[in-house]
Amino acid sequence: MNWGAADTKTTLKKELAIIPAVGWVVAGLVLVVLLTVVTPLLVRTVPPKSGEPVWLLWIVLPFASLICTIWLLMVFYVNADAARRQMNRLLWTLLVIFIPNAIGFIVYFLLRQPIARPCPKCTTLLKAEFVFCPSCGQELVPKCPSCRHAVEAGWLACAFCGAKLG
């Protein structure tokens, strides 16, 4: 069984779930308009006796429409994703819209921060590198009570001094 593939599928599903309903509605409407209005209009602009391969447009234009729709969904995705990563939501949305050839998206995926997690004590959203909560001072990295080394969740004993954790 290929667990890796199953994992990727669930992750993709989870990622798509952050696109808001309005994003799906807008993208769906745009796709319908592109396919039923724009594509036939563009096909009709080719003069009938020009000898152009009109049938080719019926393949290329729907494909281009689909790309436009996916692009739109990606804009909504970045808008929602930036928010849960404590990144500048408006700035990144504008960057991915206006930087051509999807370069904005590439830069976004290269530079995006890890998903912010809430403080266990006061639920303030925290950046990954924080060691203490900036709102309530809660220590965020668990430490061994006897040697003060950082320990990982799930350890039964400290890996540095052997003290029992619990």
What are the tokens at 43? Answer: 């096909």
* For Zn ion, the closer CB: 96 or 144: 144
Neighbours of 73 (CB within 10 A): 19
CB of 145 to Zn ion, least distance (A): 8
Q: In the complex, which residues of this chain contact Zn ion (CB under 5 A)?
A: 119, 121-122, 124, 133, 135-136, 138, 144, 146-147, 158, 160-161, 163
All residues at 6 or more sequence positions from 99 whose CB lies less than 8 Å from its CB, including other chains: 107
Please state the closest distance from residue 137 (CB atom) to Zn ion, in A. 7
Using the minimum distance from each CB to Zn ion, give the nearer residue, 25 or 136.
Answer: 136
Angle, nearest 10°, between helix axes 21-33 and 54-84? 170
Nearest to 142 by CA among 122, 123, 125, 159: 159
We find the least distance from the C-beta atom of residue 77 to Zn ion, in angstroms, to be 29
Can you tell me the distance from the alpha carbon of 69 to that of 28, in angstroms, rounded to the nearest whole number?
Answer: 7
Nearer to Zn ion, 33 or 147 (CB): 147
* Distance of closest approach, residue 110 Cβ to Zn ion, in angstroms: 30
* Closest to Zn ion by CB, 8 or 146: 146
